[in-house]
Chains A and B, each alone.
Chain A
């Protein structure tokens, strides 16, 4: 079973752990497993893995008030952003999460590192805002196609129009990383 599948069950396992030591062991083991997965992964999946590792460290930082875990959180969140920055949809998805994880451990990092960490994340947010504008515009375009598709449904003589609009809307949603919405239009093609 892969790291991500394990990670999806990690918090439940941590929740049912009998002792704090067992909890930390699970979290630390997951972080190590994530690092291994990170080395083997490619493309944007590395952003996913990095974010998960950052989240693991964030939990450890809060549970143990551990400075090192807090720093690990920030660095892994940064690695997530470093991968995600190559794709607007990834930026829009990962940057707020990574930034939130960083913010969540600020209390636990060394006081000398808080201000630079905040400024670093602020830089991420600037990129996030730019990507957001582009994604928003493309989302609006996809929405318009989807509206045409939905409106054409059930109109006699507009079957081809509905099909083409559905196809275009699905493609447009997919292009911006909105796979779930894209799926709702795809099966009718």
Chain B
């Protein structure tokens, strides 16, 4: 199986995976090594004669780690993947094509593995008599069971008794179906010169077993074929076994090593593929956790959001790699000079230099008199809904804040753990108030962590309904997703996305000024995330790299604002007695007060 990578794009539901047989190059390699090594070791141990059939069978063992294991593991992973996807989409089960295809693959592979039975050829055919070390081979089959045992330090003495002059032929020690050692050879050209049959007889030849046993042991088959002047012929096949421990000869040692290597490689392939499958499922689970829960009443709740797989990685913030256009005129940043610059923080203690007006008094038209400081309200009014706030849950501090955007997974986990623990305390309180039995409370507690994933989906769905980040979808998605993974509250995420867009504009003025400009925001964000404010600015608002097109961003921002819901109207029900604007923006003295009516 080639590596299967699925890249998830934000807010998109991936398509079902389709199973197909997977090949592993390493699996084939290790399978072949292991199979051949095992077969040779069996031969060296005297268990099997290494015939061509056995050699082919051992090579076909490569399909186990090379095809069967990857395909089966991928089959399991695909089933689990599609099951999770079906459960998420609440869609009916698809056709079981995968199972049938898998079965067919396994059958084919199995046939390959066990195909071809060993050939059954007669031991001696024709008018000959053959002995090895004095043992008549005629009743013996060329198998390990019938092999003639020879001593490792002894001799191999073969004797052929024939009825007519030998015209030609040879007797060879075979290995893997190939002639590996020639025991005896008769040249028919020489014998044909006289064309006279000199009659029958016998020939013997002796070789030392050590010629073979220096490097190898085990059982070998011998095959010979001889043609005689009288037109007859003989064929002989038998086996002999060099009686020596396989691990004491180099070939046996090598075979054992190869078999072990093949086994380990097979296990490695299985483990590797299992991990890939698990990663595939984990990636899907994580991704689905960030998506909204689809509406079960909708026939195709998010069909339009489907996307093809393998479309490449999610890119970095769009625009980051785009150099600023040279044609864009540099904007001049004007340092504070003689112009009075009020600090307009809502709670700034130095606000006394600000204009202040009555909060409830509303001007009514253009051309009102310039602001009278005595008629303006102060800026540190407490918002109507302001109450002492509980401490903001802070994710685990980051040891390497500069790697902020690359650490979202670990930080997400830390954040989730903290939230789950805190929710457990809320559960205790509520359950105590309601008198819920302990066993039921424990059952609920066990479900809090899975519920955290569901809640993220619920909130993501709500967020989509709201017009939070649509205006700058391209830049917003990635930021939004990463911040959500960190457990950053929605309001902050929303604000950061807008700030990112804003920095695309204001960043063109001057980088230092822009960094200063956002300091009031980067400080609390940094406190919340355990980062230095400067790092927040650098990570979330990379001024020099942003390169957005000014006009387009304005239009998108305006489209978002105008296309959005009447949020103020909704809030009005919560705070019906909020006073009207009263010139407290600090802008009146700059641009002139009440020029557009109040």
Contacts and interface: CB of A to CB of B under 8 A. Distances in A.
A52 B562 contact: yes
Given A97-B498, A101-B557, A165-B430, A114 B444 contact: no
Interface stretch (B40-48, B305-313, B450-458): B450-458
B558 A180 contact: no
Nearest to B594: A75
A27 B574 CA distance: 31
A49 B585 CA distance: 16
* Chain B interface size, under 10 / 10 to 19 / 20 to 34 / 35 or more: 35 or more
Given A44-B571, A147-B419, A126 B444 contact: no
Contacts of B492: 132, 136
B493 to A, nearest CB: 10
Given A131-B383, A147-B448, A155-B447, A86 B597 contact: no
A137 B389 contact: yes
A10 B491 CA distance: 27
Nearest to B595: A75
Interface in A109-125: 111-125
Interface residues of A, number: 117
Given A115-B337, A128-B495, A129-B521, A175 B591 contact: no
B444 A107 contact: no
Which residue of B332, B385, B391, B427 has the most chain A CB atoms within 10 A of its CB atom? Answer: B385
Given A90-B568, A106-B506, A114 B333 contact: yes
A81 B509 CA distance: 23
B348 A158 contact: no
Nearest to B587: A78
A140 interface: yes
B489 A136 contact: yes
B555 A59 contact: yes
A10 B566 CA distance: 15
B528 interface: yes
A120 B465 contact: no
Given A11-B559, A82-B584, A89-B385, A136 B339 contact: no
Contact of A96 (B434, B499, B562): B499
B591 A35 contact: no
B440 A156 contact: yes
B344 A120 contact: yes
A26 B8 CA distance: 41
Contact of B390 (A61, A87, A141): A141
B502 A96 contact: yes
Contacts of A184: 458, 461-462
Contact of B571 (A129, A139, A177): A177
Contacts of B461: 180, 184
Contacts, number: 393
A128 B587 contact: no
Contact of B558 (A11, A50, A99): A11
A184 B463 CA distance: 12
A100 interface: yes
B576 interface: yes
Contacts of B247: none
B203 interface: no
B252 to A, nearest CB: 63
A86 B578 contact: yes
Contacts of B176: none
A118 B513 contact: yes
A46 B340 contact: no
A122 B420 CA distance: 36
Given A129-B521, A139-B490, A180-B462, A55 B455 contact: no
A77 to B, nearest CB: 8
B257 interface: no
B386 A115 contact: no
Interface string B533-571: 000000000000000001101110111011110111111
Contacts of A72: 596
Interface in B425-463: 425-427, 430-431, 434, 436-437, 440-441, 443-448, 450-452, 454-455, 458-459, 461-463
B321 interface: no
A132 B463 CA distance: 17
Nearest to B390: A137
A170 to B, nearest CB: 12
A91 B334 CA distance: 28
20 contacts: A11-B555, A45-B572, A55-B561, A75-B587, A87-B385, A95-B495, A101-B558, A104-B505, A106-B331, A115-B335, A116-B339, A118-B506, A123-B348, A127-B346, A127-B347, A131-B346, A139-B490, A140-B390, A148-B448, A155-B440
Interface of B: 331-337, 339-348, 364, 379, 381, 383-387, 389-393, 419-420, 422-423, 425-427, 430-431, 434, 436-437, 440-441, 443-448, 450-452, 454-455, 458-459, 461-463, 465-466, 489-492, 494-495, 498-499, 501-503, 505-506, 508-509, 513, 516-521, 523-524, 528, 550-551, 553-555, 557-559, 561-564, 566-572, 574-588, 590-591, 595-598
Given A50-B581, A103-B503, A140-B390, 6 more contacts: A4-B569, A91-B383, A92-B491, A95-B495, A125-B517, A161-B436
